[in-house]
A and B are shown apart, each in its own frame.
Chain A
Amino acid sequence: MKALVWHGKEDIRCDTVTDPEIQDPRDAIIKVTSCAICGSDLHLFHNFIPGMMPGDIMGHETMGEVVEVGCGVDSKLKKGDRIVVPFTIICGECDQCKRGNFSVCETTNRKKHLADKVFGHSTAGLFGYTHLTGGYPGGQAEYLRVPFADATHIKVPAGIPDEQLLFLSDIFPTGWQAAVQCDIVPTDTVAIWGCGPVGQMAIRSAILLGANQVIAIDCLPERLSMAEAAGATTINFENESVLERLKELTDGKGPEKCIDCVGMESHVSASWPDTLLDRAKQMVMLESDRPHVLREMIYVCRPGGIISVPGVYSGFSDKLPMGAFMNKGLTMRTGQTHVNRWTDDLLRRIEQGEIDPSFVITHTVPLEQGPEMYQMFRDKRDSCVKVVLKP
């Protein structure tokens, strides 16, 4: 089969690989009908997250049709079922899964010893996202083995196009969880840094959860226009001061809720010397993340407020203003997404026409063009916001 394979920094190729096989009774194989490139895939493209090995198949936003099931999958899944594959692999049986904390499933990371050493505890296995999270082959391919398939799936009905359902795999529940973590009340102003695909979903989620005002911060006109289309007030940080504008928009109080949809690769600019220092340190491996957005959020968030972090951070961040964070009594909530905790509700909202996540797709291309699309998405060429690949 064809698959997008990681060969090193900025080197992803469309290779021919052997087809996946059932390895465990709880496995299923799906024929992929649609998959997407996630913003967090770019961290791997840049080799900023350790633990990738040449030959790893990329991708964790995938859906398709079940073509083979293991004998232990029972009646929960059968050949011909149409499923979206959540990016977190879950067993559905461990203590964390029973609590709904699916992204920290205690069972599915098959390289648990690595994660235990790096993070202190293992997290769930993830598709196509380094050997720290199990080294599972990803879904930017023609076929995908879904481990623990009896639990790791979202069954979706026929009649709704892939484009509306695909993002249940990651970015839609990720944006949703980011907003839910904010405990939004009707008087809240929610400020969202980063208007990429997760940021766009967070904007819509904050609106659906009843925020009084949503403020979207980015520098790319196409992304800001998409945010405005959903009713957000926008700040272009290249043209205006984020701190001053946020104060102005909140009567000097600051937003009650802040969401970081940027993560470890924040924009580097001479206007913010801390970003230059972070980049220099990142280059010589003195720091793994560039946490400019976190610093700004802590500084600007209203005392007693909540900071929600769906953006990916990989390791160590320097110069976080913990004094401000503590003295302002802020709360930070973060984590990989507990996808299956949210998908029943989100699928219902899609079915009822409350939201159509396909708005974010700007490019749809055959899988073979995937490597070029990684470059295009990274370089923000052709106003690219979200790429869907068709195997």
Chain B
Amino acid sequence: MFHFSNIVRSKGDPKIVEGGPSLKQPPDQLARALGWLGIGLGITEFLAPRRVTEALGMEGRETLVRAFGLREILAGVMSLSVDRNAGLWARVGGDGLDAAALLSGLTSDNPKKGNIALALLMVGGIAMLDYRAAQDTKPRRPPPNARRKLYPNRSGFPKGVQAAKGRAKEMIQHKTAGVTS
């Protein structure tokens, strides 16, 4: 991968000889894949809602599908950002909404109920992946109530704070005297 970046380096600048280990973990890669999947699915739902509703036998629900598409896109974008964990939890919530909407169409008179069952199965599988990725990418920030080291002795003034303030006063007096004289 770094061979391309080496080609575009300015002449004489250091080029990569051997790559070190990446900070990216498999859950990060899973989050990225789910983010792009969401964006792809969302665009489809937003641009072609009729095809989706026809496939599911849920004609007349195009506005809902479009709204779900928009939600998928936003959650997908969030999953690709540094706030990926929030994006993934948004996706988990969205999976719930998807399932509820699909269940509402699973009626005995729906000739496409087989497709709905298949879609439910897919949503279930993706929901499991979303949940797993959300769990594995939890922010590593310490909780607000975590014990923290404090630095009450690090003034940065080797002669003390008062001496620093005194020195500042002296400098100001010196400058003022210079101006008035």
Contacts and interface: CB of A to CB of B under 8 A. Distances in A.
Our verdict on whether A and B bind, yes or no, reads yes
Interface of A: 1, 3, 5, 7, 9-21, 23, 46, 53-55, 57, 110, 135, 137, 141, 145, 186, 200, 204, 207-210, 220-222, 225-226, 228-231, 238, 279, 283-284, 353-357, 359-360, 362, 371-372, 374-375, 379-383, 385
Contact of A10 (B24, B152, B171): B24
Nearest to B4: A54
A231 B155 contact: yes
Contacts of B81: 283
A3 B141 contact: no
A70 to B, nearest CB: 12
A57 B168 contact: no
A9 B82 contact: yes
B14 A57 contact: yes
A208 B168 contact: yes
Interface string B1-19: 1101110111111111111
Given A355-B156, A357-B156, A21 B149 contact: no
Contacts of B161: 207, 229-231
A29 B114 CA distance: 70
Q: Which 4 A-B pairs have the closest CB atoms?
A: A55-B5, A359-B156, A383-B149, A225-B150
A238 B143 CA distance: 13
Contacts of A53: 5, 8
Nearest to B139: A379
A354 B167 contact: yes
Contacts of A200: 156
Given A17-B14, A362-B151, 4 more contacts: A55-B9, A110-B10, A209-B168, A355-B156
A214 to B, nearest CB: 10
B178 interface: no
Contacts of A204: 156-157, 164
B140 A220 contact: no
Contacts of A356: 156-158
Interface of B is mostly: loop
Contacts of A279: 83
Interface in B140-176: 140-142, 144, 148-159, 161, 164-165, 167-169, 171-172
A226 B150 CA distance: 7
Contacts of B154: 226, 229, 359-360
B20 A15 contact: yes
B78 interface: yes
A279 B87 CA distance: 13
A5 B152 contact: no
Interface string B41-56: 0000000000000000
B77 interface: yes
A354 B169 contact: no
B165 A231 contact: yes
B168 A207 contact: yes
B151 A229 contact: yes
Task: Please indicate which of the listed interface residues A57, A354, A375, A385 has the most CB atoms of chain B within 10 Å of its own CB.
Answer: A354
27 contacts: A14-B20, A15-B18, A20-B12, A20-B13, A20-B14, A23-B12, A54-B2, A55-B6, A145-B12, A145-B13, A207-B157, A207-B161, A207-B164, A207-B168, A209-B168, A222-B149, A229-B156, A230-B155, A230-B157, A230-B161, A284-B77, A354-B167, A356-B158, A359-B151, A371-B20, A379-B142, A381-B141
B23 interface: yes
Contact of A18 (B15, B28, B149): B15
B82 A10 contact: yes
A371 B142 CA distance: 19
Contacts of B1: 7, 54
A359 B155 contact: yes
A197 B18 CA distance: 33
Interface string B125-145: 000000000000001111010
B77 A283 contact: yes
Task: Please indicate which of the listed interface residues B81, B151, B169 has the most CB atoms of chain A within 10 Å of its own CB.
Answer: B151
Contact of B152 (A210, A228, A375): A228
Nearest to B142: A381
A140 B28 CA distance: 25
A110 B158 CA distance: 41
B135 to A, nearest CB: 17
Contacts of B19: 13, 15
Nearest to A27: B12
A210 B14 contact: no
Nearest to A56: B5
Contacts of B6: 55
Contacts of B8: 53, 55
B164 A283 contact: no
B141 A380 contact: yes
B140 A381 contact: yes
B148 A383 contact: yes
Contacts of A357: 156
